[in-house]
Amino acid sequence: MYSYNHLFFVVLSSTLHILAIVTTVSLVVTGDNVFPTDFEKLPLVLYDDSTRKRDLAWRSRDAFSPRITRPMYGIYYPVWVGGQVEDIVEIILQVDDGDIFSRNNLGVIQQVENLVYEFKDYKDTYCQRNAIYQCLKPWSVVRLFDGTYKSVNSSFDNPSFQNPKTVLCDAKKFTETKEFLEFLLPKGYDPCGSSSVSRITRIFLPMGYPLYGSNSKNRINNFLINDMKPHLESIRDNVLGDRMHLYYTSKRIFDNDVTQQAFDDMLFAIGSFAFIFLVMWIQTKSFFITSFGIFSILTSFLLANLVYRYVLNYEYFGFFHIISMFIILGIGADDVFVFYDSWRLTDDIDYPTLAHRLTCCYYRAAKTTFVTSVTTMAAFLVSGMSPLLPVASFGIFSGILVGVNYICDLVYFPTAIILYSEKIRPKTTKFRQWIWDKLCCVDGLKCKRERPEDSPENQSVQSSISAHSNSFLCSPRKSAAEDSRRLFPKVWSTSQGFDLLQNPKTSTVDKTKLSPKANADRKEFEERMVVVRFLRHSFFNFISLRIVRIVLVVLFVGSSAFFIYSATNLEPDSKQVSTYLTQFLNGKGEGPTPPPHPPKYVNNFFYIQQT
């Protein structure tokens, strides 16, 4: 009946954890968005901005059904298959030396364009098409040489790339080709200048939409990620080699890479779990305690997410929230160490009952972890006042996570410790001792590890302590009780320990009066610790120097003043962060803005009928 009571209280204290798991799984199975992840964009929106309503009105203009529209005559919406543009693959080509618009390099550009244009099902399924269902060629400088613009000038029919700079200079002079050319040239490059040299250009590959059949966007997405992306990398590695550098991007490829990177980073949490699990196992010397501690940390994350998602009604889970997983691993492991070490240090005192021992451990550990948890929660919750959703939601989620983890430790972990110490550990100790007797202590050989009953010191200790004196590892240490006896050598009797527990201020127990032998044992034990020796001798001798203390104070005050001054001068960025090559940031706008089509081409949204 006694063991069943322990198991019952463990199950009862696990109610929050089990409820969090069952609730989360149930919501996921029913299709609810439990983790509203959004890794494709960072919503840095200022909700108090006076211009935000105008921005929302423009973005949501099509959602208002009774809106007033004005027809535009002569302009038709491309409703045919492949008439619109769903995405654009931008291919950037760059050379280290020379002019990229030289005759030889233009031949390489044409080779790359043909390899992409003729690739797999692009021409048959995914290219953009005009009104007569012709597949449109990529937008590149090659269009100025293959006869596409020969109606403008005969110099644009030059398939052998003779006098390329002259052709480019002519393209800049004609209205039909000038704007098209500007999107293919680097910033500040003048093709008519005799000494101007360009080392970079780009190709635009439009993806037509809609496709035959259903799921057009998903099919385009799969083609770009699974087919086109590996093909471009193969061209870069196997075709171009050292002749030319190739870079590529598109909105769908970029979004997929960002999302994939986010999930790849989450896999690092597995390594963190493994490392922390190993450290906790070595520290606690118990697989049972370590497993229950990690289980508590994981379920705390689920419970905190339920509060964040459904109580506070947040519908954003981004990059910053992933960091919370790594944060709570460290904080949760610290709480486990504090609770379990406090429990082990009470192993040497003879308490009247198990409840008295747990009360002493609980009081010490709960007070310590409360201070650290509250200060950490406060640091995160302060971020909740930020006007930016990613920062505010991350601070609130992390603060809730730390608080939930602390509550779970208070309710759940002490019962797991009692179950392990009173029921599981004695049985595993006997089993390990039996294995040791059978395998190690053969006739004629002396065991390296002493048995508890053979130790003179342990013979004077009560049998309840002796049952716990086998270490998980075969080391000279016998148990945490030995550590506590050496660190706190005076063992009080049952009545003295109870008096000290109930009245710590008025107790008659002298905690400082130790025998010379006890002091010697304690000092000898401490000198065996590398950290203690370093702090007691080398570090103390260094930090005690007067000049060192003065220098440290000056450095601390100076660095604090510098950082405070720097923080007061922080200003928001005056320019938008650019993820594209600076050579392409021309006057037509930043990034891969698609160039306008020739008059006979179909643009992104409208087909301009020629008269």
439 contact partners, CB below 8 Å, separation of at least 6: none
Split at pLDDT 50, 70, 90, the class of 88 is very high
| Residue 171 belongs to some domain of the structure | yes
| 384 and 266 within one domain | yes
- 245 and 276 housed in the same domain: no
Ramachandran angles phi, psi of 204, nearest 5°: -110, 125
Q: Is the pLDDT of residue 343 over 50?
A: yes
Residue 6 is assigned to a structural domain of this protein: yes
Q: Is residue 45 part of a domain?
A: no
What pLDDT digit, counting tens, does each position of 492-545 carry?
444 444 454 445 444 444 444 445 655 666 566 566 667 777 888 888 889 889
Stretch 381-409: mean pLDDT: 90
Contacts of 129-133 spanning 24+ positions with Cβ under 8 A: 129/80, 129/81, 129/82, 129/83, 129/208, 129/602, 130/83, 130/600, 130/601, 130/602, 130/607, 131/78, 131/80, 131/83, 131/602, 131/607, 133/80, 133/81, 133/82
State which of 429, 445, 480 marks the end of a domain.
Answer: 429
Whole-number pLDDT of residue 516: 63
Work out the percent of the chain whose per-residue pLDDT is above 70. 74
The reply to whether 162 falls in a domain is yes
Higher pLDDT, 67 or 275: 275
Whether residue 285 is found in the same domain as residue 355: yes
Quick one: pLDDT at residue 394? 92
The helix or strand, by DSSP H or E, that contains position 341, with its residue range, turns out to be: helix 319-345
Q: Are residues 239 and 266 in the same domain?
A: no
What is d(CA 90, CA 603) in angstroms, rounded to the nearest whole number?
A: 16
> CA–CA separation, 559 vs 126, rounded Å?
59
> What's the farthest any 2 CA atoms get from each other in the chain?
110
Report if residue 517 sits inside a domain. Answer: no
pLDDT tens for residues 98-154?
A: 899 999 999 999 999 999 999 988 998 999 998 888 999 999 999 999 999 999 999
Helices (H) and strands (E) in the chain, counts: 22, 5
Lowest mean pLDDT among 172-186, 226-240, 437-451: 437-451
Question: Do residues 197 and 218 share a domain?
Answer: yes
The DSSP symbol for 467 reads: T
pLDDT at 58 over 50: yes
Residues 118-133 have pLDDT tens digits of 998 899 899 999 888 8
What average pLDDT does the segment 251-261 reach? 87
Which of 36-50, 356-370, 444-458, 576-590 has maximum average pLDDT? 356-370
Q: What is the Cα–Cα distance from 332 to 409, expressed in whole angstroms?
A: 8
Indicate if 245 and 366 belong to the same structural domain. Answer: no
**Domain assignment present for 103:** yes
Q: Are 285 and 223 in a shared domain?
A: no
Q: Judge if 214 and 270 occupy the same domain.
A: no
pLDDT class for 609, splitting at 50, 70, 90? very low
How many domains, in total, are found in the chain?
2
**pLDDT greater at residue 85 or residue 351:** 85
Q: Are residues 208 and 356 in the same domain?
A: no
Boundary residue ending a domain (224, 249, 274): 249
Instruction: Answer yes or no: is 203 within a domain.
Output: yes
Question: Is the Cβ–Cβ distance between 157 and 163 less than 8 Å?
Answer: no
Structural domain containing residue 25 = 1-30+262-429
- The number of CA neighbours under 13 Å toward the Cβ of 405 is 31
Q: Answer yes or no: is 481 within a domain.
A: no
Q: What is the CATH number of the domain that holds 375?
A: 1.20.1640.10
Instruction: Please check whether residues 224 and 301 belong to one and the same domain.
Output: no
Domain boundary among 249, 284, 315: 249
Q: Are residues 208 and 234 in the same domain?
A: yes
Asked whether residue 348 falls in the same domain as residue 205, the answer is no
What torsion, rounded to 10 degrees, do the Cα atoms 28, 29, 31, 34 define? -10
